[in-house]
């Protein structure tokens, strides 16, 4: 049995659960399409705690996700593969363009963010990691990715987060650059808060 055959068999085993357990289809469709926005909300919450540690973590997570998605763009062109629904008869629960299937951008972005939260010991870090895993699983369940798409995406995301983390830990120039960026933002933020407080007091 070839790797592609094994990949398809595993895909088919997961995807057919949509017919066997239709009660889960709504949840899986939400996870596949919209649960990624919980990560965006998480980034905002971490950022507006106004903690320097959390703000560094948010910057690391965002940079790691961008790097991972850049790698995905290259891999998608080098190792192009059709989506499962474009090549086979599948149970497709969500609409999706018939573009490159490998690797999964959802898996890359969510695992890059979750891995950055774990490496920086962010609060609820293991919840984020679990959420990244179930989002990736749901992409197979709903018929838009093969298992190897999401596994490769998870690996790219984790490695991107680890690479950015190491760079920021051991490169003094990058560390100073991030500090300068945060201080610049906080100076603007402080001015806005002071202006709002002055306006409120004058009323």
In which band, very low, low, confident or very high, does the pLDDT at 62 lie, cut at 50, 70 and 90?
very high
Q: Can you tell me whether residue 80 is helix, strand or coil?
A: coil
146-198 per-position pLDDT tens digit: 999 999 999 999 999 999 999 998 888 988 999 999 999 988 888 887 656 55
Q: Give percent of the chain with pLDDT exceeding 70.
A: 95
Torsion angle (degrees, nearest 10) of CA 88, 30, 133, 23 = -80
Q: Average pLDDT in the 12-39 region?
A: 97
Q: What are the tokens at 137?
A: 């699983």
d(CA 168, CA 161): 11
Tokens coding 169: 């830990």
Q: How does DSSP assign 5-19, residue by residue?
A: HHHHHHHHHHHTHHH
Alpha carbon 157 to its chain centroid, in Å, reads 7
Nearest to 68 by CA among 155, 169, 192, 175: 155
Residues in the chain: 203
| pLDDT tens-digit series, residues 51-60 | 999 999 999 9
CA dist 41 and 32 (Å) reads 17
């Amino acid at each position: 049995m070839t790797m592609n055959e094994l990949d398809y068999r595993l895909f088919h085993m997961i995807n057919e659960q949509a017919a066997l357990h239709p009660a889960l289809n709504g949840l899986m469709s939400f996870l596949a399409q919209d649960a990624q926005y919980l990560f965006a909300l998480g980034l905002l919450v971490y950022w507006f705690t106004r903690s320097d540690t959390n703000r560094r973590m948010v910057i690391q997570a965002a940079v790691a996700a961008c790097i991972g998605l850049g790698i995905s763009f290259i891999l998608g062109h080098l190792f192009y593969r059709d989506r499962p629904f474009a090549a086979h008869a599948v149970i497709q629960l969500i609409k999706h363009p018939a573009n490159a299937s490998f690797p999964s951008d959802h898996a890359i972005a969510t695992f890059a963010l979750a891995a950055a939260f774990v490496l920086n010991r962010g609060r609820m870090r293991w919840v984020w990691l679990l959420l990244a895993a179930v989002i990736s699983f749901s992409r197979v369940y709903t018929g838009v990715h093969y298992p190897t798409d999401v596994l490769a995406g998870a690996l790219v995301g984790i490695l991107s987060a680890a690479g950015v983390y190491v760079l920021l830990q051991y490169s003094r120039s990058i560390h100073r650059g991030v500090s300068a960026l945060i201080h610049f933002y906080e100076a603007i933020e402080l001015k806005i808060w002071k202006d709002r407080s002055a306006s409120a007091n004058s009323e």
